[in-house]
Structures are given as structure tokens and as C-alpha cells.
Amino acid sequence: MEGIVGAKLLHGSSEVETSKALQGGVVALYFSAHWCPPCQGYTPQLKKVYERAKREGKLFDVIFVSSDRDEASFRQYFASMPWHAVPFSDRAKEQALKMIYQVRGIPSVVLLDGATGSLVDANGRGKVMEPGFVASLPTTQDLALAKLPSPEGPVPVTIYHHGREYEIECEPDEGYEMLRMQIFSVTDIPAEQQRLFGLGQAKGVLNEQVPLPRALVRAMAAQKNTGYKVAGVPKEARKASSNEFPEEQWHAAGGVLTSDPGWGWVHKSKDDNPWYQMDLQEVRKVAGVVLRAGADHVAWVKKFRVCTATTEEGPWDAVDAGREFSGLSGLMLPEVRAIFESPVETRFVRIECLPGGLDRRSLRADVLLADDKDQDKPPTIVVLGNFSADDPFENMEAAQDNAQTKMIEEQHLAMLQAKLSNAQPRLQNQVNSLQGVQRYESRALQKQALAEIPVLGIDESARSSSESYELAFMRGLLRWYKHDFFSWCNAPKCEHCSSGNTKTVGATQPTREEQYFLAGNVEVAQCNLCGLQTRFPRYNDPGKLLETRTGRCGEWANCFTLLCRALGYEARHVHDWTDHVWTEIFSDSLKRWVHADSCEAALDAPLMYEKGWGKKLTYVIAFARDHVIDVSRRYTQKFDDLLPRRTEFSEQELQRVLGAISEFSTDRSLVQVPEATASQRRAALERRAKEEQDQLLGRSQEAKEVKAEEQVGRTSGDAEWRSQRGELGATAAAKEKALELSETGLEGSSAPSSAAKAEPEKAPASRDPQAAAKQRFAELVASGLSPNEAALQVIQDLRLCSTRGLGTAGTD
């Protein structure tokens, strides 16, 4: 690379040697300038890609090649960049690079092979923004493993499938086809239906472009040091510098490695030198320590030292001369085994947390003993097929679109439009929601989604659960998604100074690029620190959301439903017309559809909106790729109480329109499916529809018992925002619990107090009925109703409330 960009580069205000600054992998030459408006918009987006690549340990470097008009402008612009730059004084180099790579305009990105300098892509500006770009980048481990020799002879491999364990012997030279045949022989999953994960690859489906012998080398390297035995230090032999949780929770788990549900130790925020200590009861020969993430906290120990002592009073000696060990990088990722350069004889082992990450850090830990080391564990593969036996589509190869298929789909759409020609516009618009769920069927998009999911870690947690595998896996997926993947955005961070002190001040039209990713509108936030503005596009493209990983309930549910489909769940995207969105998955073990709210990490808690949040639901419509259904009855304890609020159209009209849309979606989904398979699917849909109808009618006829987690107010979003929406809680106890669980979501909920169970639902006494009615009127108009329709609805709500003695119910 020195021959291309020169021997010296800038990093910040310092000059560095190019040979030491670049890691190899992929290098992006970024041609840009401070005076260029498109560049000012592109640079923050490139910065996000760069930071994500670094966060995931990818080998990706960026070198800024400036087209600024003077050095002062260059330095001002470069100060906002975290990467390297060609020195501004070397204008000849800038001109030479533009000529070599034929750069005609800015911003422009040229991608190079960091090891050889060869050209990868001369027009990389769009490529680096693709959702799958970061996943395609190599890691340091990839380069190191390429130098190791291939295994000789068969390699034992452990296969995990839906909670069951199998052993096979894999011949490296026989390739993936034979491996899949072996997996079929023990799991009965046909080769073409197998999703394979593992062999040392922490996330994503197995990359079969890597030759199997190299994949096995990687897998054996990942299992290195797994033969050391875990000491199993009991909870009473553990202590810490401080503990965030109550004493009873410390005794329940306290960071024990195998604790269930995986509670970790968390130190207090004001503890400047946190440590976690384990007592072996006697002097033992220690090989190292093992760390896992706690499931109850969103920050982990990322850097640490280990100290040992033979008595608790000390002296304490730092292992390996104070060596800094790399810690945990995320929830559901493989455990970290920190092995010392040589075993240490000691009784007390102390993990000292080093600065980094949030002000409180969490871990589960134990000690690895050096004596009686077993053989390292064999490489592992997790096999996922289809979570639903009735679903024939999951792993079928996507048929190619052709003219005949498109013609049939257009005919179906024309017939649907004719059927709906007399329906109200809002009902006709429900057809558009089918486009969203159809995007989840893209095999390329599903592959991008699977590249993000730590399937091995979720599988391990599901295998140790007493629940059915499909539900335990879903619970783990929800936990990981909420705590380690997606983030809530009240207002975006400032893209100029990275401050979180911003406030939404308005909205604007999306750019062409934002429209490409289906952003219908863009919110604008102003930084209270630097005064500059940041755009927050409300993307509807689930592939783009895999990259941005932030938003509110719409973005959360959109991206999460894609992940469910990618993993093999049958999934629905559920629209609540009082402004919320979530997912449903089909459970073969329960033989019904199950509610899953990724914002709340909630599973099978359908009454939470009515009983916990205090929402006055009206219409709840679920969209799958091959059917559409009104599921409102699932989300209310008494449908007769909800029914008077459903006044936009008659129940008969609603069912007629949804039936027509559902029939269209079924026909469209089966166009490219063999006739026998299509007949089986139709029969399954008809059987399920009847069973679901019976279940929903049963729910409406009985007063179902309300679960503890359904008596909690909304936990996602800041408290002021939740309160303004009237969703913080239906009761005082629900609000209190919602505030308590704002970080964990409903997975951290426990049974409410007796006061919470006894307290009746009532509207706040301090609410002014006139003001509430005005607020309700404004909300209805904003939802698309005419002023006359909104006024009639408010009057009806007030009449309904007065008959129940509930004051101003319905104003949320």
C-alpha cells in the first residue's frame, strides 16, 4: 500500500507509517471535500459503516483523499473523521490517485485489497452502503487461520438440532455435499433444507465458499482450550467490590457461570475500581478464567486483568505482568476463555474490570483448572430447518420470476382491485401492507439477516431450557435483539459531535437515497450542544434496518419479523391501529400463533397492551405472506367492551375486505409452488384458520387470567414520551413496574404486588375531560379521519365511558 498512498499517512494530528497503520483486509480510498454538500451528507454514513466494521473486528481501513481548496478546510473536515488521510501537502499524490482510479466526481470510494493493493471495486460508493458489506469483510482470525495446516484424517463434529445432540466424523476432503448427507442421516432434514451454523463462525450461515478443510481448521481453533475443567466456584465463595442488585439476588446467582436465567454480577456505577473475586477454598493450579455475558444487563466487561493471591489479605499479584485480556463482546456470543501464559498456583482469583463501555459492567465467570485437562471439545454445527411442519416454503429454492408468473400475479391483483372498488380507502390501503411482508421472503435478505444472529449462543441457551425448543429459541432471540442488536431512538445522536443531547424540531422530505430504502419521511433533530442538525430517516426497508439498527416500534417490528422469517419461523407482521406494531410466530408445540413484541422482549403476553399499557384497542390486523386476519380478539380480555370503538366500517365489510386480501395473498404465494404442495398448504391454512377462530372466540367469551407480565406498562421509549402517549401504565403499579423495567423489558418482570392485582383500572383523576377530548379529536384527525368522523367518534367514546364510570377512557 505504501507504493499507492505513500509511506506516511495522517491519523488525527499525527503522522504514522502506512505499513503499521493499515491492517490488511479491505482499504477504501475516500475522495471527498468539505465544500461539497453531497460529501457532507455521505461522510456521516460512511463513518457509521466504518465504526460498525471496527466494532465487529473486521479488517477495514479508510484513507481520506482530500479535494479541499486549502489546508485549513482540510483539517476542519478531517477532524470529524476517525480514519487516516493522505497529507494535504502531498497534492501530487491526490492528483495521481484520481488519475489512476479515474475519479470523475466526489464523493467517490475506491476499494482496494489491503494486502496486495489490487483493485477490488473502482465504484465502491454504493457497495459500502449495502447491508451485507460489513459481513463480507475479513477478520484478523481469517488471515491467521489461512496459514495453519489442514487437518489430516476424519474430524469428529458435534451436531445440534432442535435441542438434540449427535456425533459424526467428517472427512475434510469430501466437501460440504457429503457433510450435508451425514447431517441428513442423523437429523432427517434433507440437504437442501438445512441451514448450517458454526464450525468456528460466530454468526451467519456457514460460508461454503470457504473450503471445508479450512472451515474445520477454524472450528478446531475456536475450540482451543475448551478441555480445561471449570472449577465451579459456589456462590457463597464469591464476592465483589460492589453489587448493584439486592442481596437476595446475589445469593440467587451472583455471576455464577451456569446460573439460570443467566443473571450476572453488576457493579455499582460509582465503583471506580470494580473487581470480582472467587475463592477456590484451597490452593489449586489455575490455567485461566472463563467469562460469559449476563442475560440481565446490557453492558459487559470488555477489558480486564486477573490478579491472584494465596490469602485474601494478599499480596495480590497481576497475572502475566498485568496483561490486558479481551473480554465479552456481546450477548449470546461464545464465552471468553482467558488462558494464562503459564499456570498459577493460587487460592483466590480476582477479575479486575478495566475502563471501557458503560459505567456499569456485567459478567458471569469461573476459574479454569490446569490439572487433569481433557481433550478439547470437537467442532460444532447447529442445524436449523423449519420451525413449522406445515410450512413448505421455508427452505425451498426461490423460483425465478418469469413473464407467466408476473402475468398471473397481475391478474390476481386486478381481480382483487375489482372486489375492493367499493371499499373505504383505509381498507383498500391494507393491500399495501402485503408488500412489506413479501420482502421478508427474499433469500438474499434472509441471508443478510442470518449473518447478524448469534445462532450458536441462542441455541445453547434454548437447549438448557425447560420450554419447547422453538419457544426457548424465540425467547433468546428476543433477549439478544433488545439488549444487543437494536436500539430505541427518541431523537438521533448528533452526527457532527456525537452528543445525545438532541431534540426533534421538525420533518423534511427524504433524499433519493433515503427513498430507495423506503423512507417515507425524515425527522430532523437539533443538537443542544453544537447547534447543528441531524436527519433521522424513518426507513421501511428491513435490509437497511439491519444496518442502522435503530428506530421506534415500526422499525423494531419490521426488522425483527425479517429475522424470524430468516430463521424459519412462520411469522406475521401485526398492525395495531392505535399506533403500535409487533410480530406473531406460529408454534407447533402450542398449535397456535404466539405474540412476540421485540420492543418489550415480550413473548406470549397479548393482554399487555390493554391491561398493562392501558391502550383502548380498536383494530389489530395480522399480515403473513399467504394470509391476512383480524386478530383483535387475541389482544383483549373482553371483545364486547372493545367492539363499540370499532366504528369506521361494519364488521361484515371488514371481514369481506380482509377475506378478499387474504385470498389474494394465498393465491399469489402459491403461484410458483407445485400443485401437490399448494394443495397441502391450502388445507393447512384452512385447518389453522378454523382452529384460530375457535381459539379467538373462546378468548372473547371467557375472562382470561391476566399474567404478571401483562400487568406492566410500556417499557420502551423514554418515560416522558410514554406518558404523553398514555402508555406508561394502566395503573399506578403498572407505571411503577414499567419504569423499573425500562432497561430489561418484560423478560425482567416478576409477579406484581398484591396492590397491583387489587387496584381497579381507572383514568387519572387529575385529567381534564375537555382537554382529553380535544387531544383525542386531534389524534383521530391525524390518523386520517375527517373532522366530522373524529367528532362523532369522540362523542361515542365519552358516552361509552360515562356508562362505565371511567371518566375519559379512550383518550390514550
Query: Catalytic pick from 68, 541, 576, 597?
Result: 597
* Predicted local distance difference test score (pLDDT) of residue 805: 34
The C-alpha cell at 414 is: 386486478
Nearest to 297 by CA among 353, 365, 358, 238: 358
Q: Is pLDDT at 610 greater than 90 in this prediction?
A: yes
Q: Cα separation of 227 and 339, whole Å?
A: 12
- Percent of the chain whose pLDDT exceeds 90: 55
The C-alpha cell at 688 is: 389453522
* Predicted local distance difference test score (pLDDT) of residue 547: 87
Least confident piece of the model among 96-110, 386-400, 599-613:
386-400
Question: Residue 632 — pLDDT band, cuts 50, 70, 90?
Answer: very high
162 assigned to active site? no
* Predicted local distance difference test score (pLDDT) of residue 800: 38
801 assigned to active site? no
Q: Which residues contact 228 (CB under 8 A, 6 or more apart)?
A: 287, 288, 337, 339, 368, 369, 370, 373, 374
Strand (E) positions, 577-659?
Answer: 580-587, 592-597, 602-603, 620-623, 628-630
163-174: pLDDT as tens digits: 999 999 999 999
Query: Catalytic pick from 580, 627, 797, 812?
Result: 580
Least confident piece of the model among 29-38, 132-141, 514-523:
132-141
HEC secondary structure over 657-725: HHHHHHHHHHHHHCCCCCHHHHHHHHHHHHHHHHHHHHHHHHHHHCCCCCCHHHHCCCCCCCHHHHHHC
Q: Cα separation of 572 and 685, whole Å?
A: 14
* Predicted local distance difference test score (pLDDT) of residue 408: 65
Mean pLDDT for the stretch of residues 490-517: 90
* Predicted local distance difference test score (pLDDT) of residue 46: 93
Least confident piece of the model among 344-358, 519-533, 566-580, 585-599:
344-358
* Predicted local distance difference test score (pLDDT) of residue 801: 41
Mean pLDDT of the chain: 85
* Predicted local distance difference test score (pLDDT) of residue 159: 97
DSSP secondary structure string for all residues of 97-123: HHHHTT--SSSEEEEEETTT--EEETT
Least confident piece of the model among 14-28, 43-57, 149-163, 772-786:
772-786
Q: Is pLDDT at 726 greater than 70 in this prediction?
A: yes
Mean pLDDT for the stretch of residues 537-558: 94
- Give the full edge-to-edge strand order of the sheet including 26-32: 14-17, 8-11, 84-85, 60-66, 26-32, 108-113, 119-121
* Predicted local distance difference test score (pLDDT) of residue 747: 67
Mean pLDDT for the stretch of residues 776-804: 49
**At residue 356, what are phi and psi to the nearest 5 degrees?**
145, 135
Helix, strand, coil abundance in the chain, percent, nearest 5: 40, 20, 40
Mean pLDDT for the stretch of residues 70-98: 92
Is residue 428 a contact partner of residue 416, using CB atoms and an 8 Å limit?
no
Nearest to 183 by CA among 381, 420, 414, 468: 381
580 assigned to active site? yes
Mean pLDDT for the stretch of residues 549-576: 96
Q: Cα separation of 165 and 300, whole Å?
A: 30
Question: Residue 329 — pLDDT band, cuts 50, 70, 90?
Answer: confident
* Predicted local distance difference test score (pLDDT) of residue 772: 58
Q: Cα separation of 155 and 218, whole Å?
A: 12
Mean pLDDT for the stretch of residues 289-308: 82
Least confident piece of the model among 158-167, 331-340, 573-582, 623-632:
331-340
**At residue 125, what are phi and psi to the nearest 5 degrees?**
-60, -45
* Predicted local distance difference test score (pLDDT) of residue 395: 43
Q: How far is CA 27 from CA 117, 212, 426, 486, 692, in A?
A: 8, 28, 50, 28, 54
Question: Residue 774 — pLDDT band, cuts 50, 70, 90?
Answer: low
**At residue 501, what are phi and psi to the nearest 5 degrees?**
-90, 75
Mean pLDDT for the stretch of residues 657-679: 88
Residue type, 294: G
Residues β-bridged to residue 166: 159
Is residue 276 a contact partner of residue 350, using CB atoms and an 8 Å limit?
yes
Residue type, 38: P
Q: Which of 205-209, 505-509, 671-675 has the highest mean pLDDT?
A: 505-509
Query: Catalytic pick from 39, 170, 489, 553?
Result: 553
Place of cell 485480556: 325
Mean pLDDT for the stretch of residues 167-186: 94
Is residue 732 a contact partner of residue 770, using CB atoms and an 8 Å limit?
no
Q: Is pLDDT at 264 greater than 70 in this prediction?
A: yes
Of 146 and 234, more confident = 234
HEC secondary structure over 467-524: CCHHHHHHHHHHHHHHHHHCEECCCCCCCCCCCCCEEEEEEECCCHHHHHCCCCCEEE
358-402: pLDDT as tens digits: 556 788 899 999 987 889 999 999 999 888 888 876 544 444 445
Question: Residue 191 — pLDDT band, cuts 50, 70, 90?
Answer: confident
Least confident piece of the model among 414-418, 430-434, 608-612, 789-793:
789-793
Question: Residue 346 — pLDDT band, cuts 50, 70, 90?
Answer: very high
Q: How many CB atoms lie within 10 A of CB 758?
A: 10
